[in-house]
Structure 1
Amino acid sequence: MNEVHCYQYIVNFMHPNLRNLDLNLLLVFDAVWRHQSVARAAEELALSNSALSHALSRLRRHLGDELFYRVGHEMQPTLFATALAESVNNSLSQLNQSVQKRPRFDPATSQHEFTFAVTDFTTFSLFPALMAKVQQLAPWIRFQLIHSEQKVALHELMAGRVDFALGFSETHDRRLPDIEEMDWMEDEYVVIASPRFFPADRPVDLTQYIAARHLVVTPWNEETGYIDSELALLGLERHIALRMPSVLGAPFIIAQSPLLMTIPRYAAERLQHSVEYAIHPLPFAIPRYTVKIYSWQKNSQRDACRWLLELLRGLKNQPA
């Protein structure tokens, strides 16, 4: 339920007496209760004595109770006002704390937690460089990474469940209002293969690529991925032997099988340090892709998010 619907729900179902009440009158009630004086309450609220008396009269009519009566120079509460006073005071105190200005964000001392919607590859692309820098500048900052249930977690962003979402751009992507996009890194796709089945010194040609069986990473359990869509434009189709949700285990399977895998060069070159396989050019032309960082302009933690966006811009295209 968004803020507008939540507010409408409250208005529709609150008690009619409260729905028709000018809530500013509760400030008047609380001030008179605490000061036991119309003059001192008026001074606190920056009202004239007559304006405050008029407001108090309106509240008396609305609630059907005298609320206060004069004893000497003091305003004494009725039994009804006494019963009401604690609830009004507590409610106004909580509301005041909720709406007061947030303290300025200080990265050096803040323990703020940022939530990112990610896949394992987008995490691999961004967080080595980010965490190294954050530990220098903001050692108490925390991050929570959650698996993205969709290509770009726009609903989670706009609902405030995540602060940032990582995703891939494709040529048919469209911009959405209030969603900020930052290009993090641009790369190309390559093919990885075991040299036992595909000699490392000879490129994999298109005929071999189509004839082979493939391992495909599908983070969102999608039936058709970007590579398959590009092949379809050429009137071609590859044979998929294995689908899996994570990129990190895939190269170990490739190293011991005749399967091919198409992955970003950035991941291929770094994972190659852990397992033996060869990297080949993709045997057909497709557009390069971009890892993007998405954020919502209306995020309530704007100071903290702005700081992190500036930090990311400084690190842009310099992943570890």
Structure 2
Amino acid sequence: MRFNKLDLNLLVALDALLTEQSISRAAEKTHLSQSAMSNALARLREYFEDELLVQVGRKMEPTTRAQSLKDPVRDILVRVEASVTAQPQFIPAQSTRLFRLLISDYTLMTLVPHLQRLAYKQAPGVRFELRPQATQPQRALERGEADLLIIPKDFCSTSHPSELLFEETFCSVLWSESHLASGTLTEDRYMSAGHVVVQPGDGVALTDWFMQQSSIKRQAETSTFSFLSQASLVVGTHRIATMHRRLALLAARFLPIAIRDLPVPIPHMQQVVQWHQHRTTDPGLVWLRALLREAATAMDSPLPPGTPG
């Protein structure tokens, strides 16, 4: 099929080349031979009258023209996939579909176990690929590299639809033998203590973002990439971790920690699920979003009788 004399099959090759910036890796990704991918690049160069990828040392780097094509080409392919390859119906009990979710370790520990239990009951053949949220996870969603993104509402993209799953509050977590665990944790005691904070990749944790908005400055003495690790890192110290309350309650089951209300004002976190605007009616994602709503309710309910664990 051609459009304005361009073989549309070449868009798949172009997308792979711009993503991988390597002929061999692009060929592997699209299941083509290297010679076929080299031929595709030659045809693309002729059509766009641009080198697109140029050799710089041992790497290939995109030209300015190639950079301007990267997102539009990916958007076209996402639209095609959503419109043409999407199945007209989704039968959970018969499906072996792979769902790719971008999540934090907070979501992994609190929400996802309930999602897995419910999904296994309805669709035992369905598979999940749980990926960590890197910097700008919205880009993976927009490029069709993830099916769903579960993220605080404050950080989600305004270009795609989202749905509120649940709200979360924050609390202070301390070693149970810390002097700070005795008596009232006042704002002065909180602010004068050292803190264990989360620094997720190149981004900022929501708690820090909230505190920055309120001009609250903590003494960060330990930083970690993991929300879950905060509780273990205060044990044996007089430091404080500001944690999601549900995660803190989970950690309290196996760590000698004390949980206290925060003496400083922090808004509730609104956790949402987000999906690509072109995949709103995808039957599989409609089912999965409904299951996520059910899992969010199950988080705060006792497990059904006979449930393992």
CA deviation after TM superposition for structure 1 residue 225, in Å: 4.2
Q: Summarize deviations over 1:116-142 as a string: whole Å, max 9, x none.
A: 111111212221110111111000100
Output the CA distance in 1 between the equivalents of 2:209 and 2:85: 51
Query: 1:231 and 1:163, CA in 2 relative to 1: closer, same or farther beyond 3 A?
Result: closer
3-state DSSP class of the match of 1:267?
helix
How far the C-alpha of 1:174 sits from its partner, in A, is 6.9
Amino acid in the other structure paired with 1:195: S
Counterpart mapping for 1:1-320 below 5 A:
6=11, 13=43, 102=87, 104-150=89-135, 153-170=137-154, 176-177=158-159, 179-222=160-203, 225-299=205-279, 302-319=282-299
| TM-score scaled by length of structure 1 | 0.64
Q: C-alpha distance in 2, partners of 1:100/1:304?
A: 13
DSSP 3-state at the match of 1:139 = coil
Structure 1, unmatched stretches of 5+, are 17-97
Match of 1:307, as an amino acid? W
Q: Number of matched residues?
A: 231
8 A contact 1:198–1:204 mirrored in 2: no
Give 1:235 deviation, angstroms. 4.3
Bigger Rg over Cα = 1
Indicate how the Cα distance of structure 1 residues 234 and 156 shifts in structure 2: closer, same or farther if over 3 A, else same. closer
Distance 2:131 2:243 in 1: 22
Unaligned residue ranges in structure 2 (runs of 5+): 1-7, 15-39, 47-82, 301-309
Q: CA deviation at 1:164?
A: 0.5
Is the deviation greater in 310-319 or in 110-119? 310-319
* Change beyond 3 A, Cα 1:4–1:292: farther
* Cα distance change, pair 208–8 in 1 and its aligned pair in 2 (3 A): same
Question: Retained in 2: the 8 A contact 1:166–1:294?
Answer: yes
Aligned counterparts of 2:215 and 2:44: Cα–Cα separation in 1: 62
Shift of 1:5: 9.6
| C-alpha contact (below 8 Å) 1:189/1:288 kept by paired residues | yes
What is the letter of the counterpart of residue 105 of structure 2? D
- How many angstroms apart in 2 are the aligned matches of 1:136 and 1:301? 23
Structure 1's 174 and 291: CA in aligned 2 closer, same or farther, altered over 3 A?
closer
What is the CA distance between 1:227 and its match in structure 2?
3.4
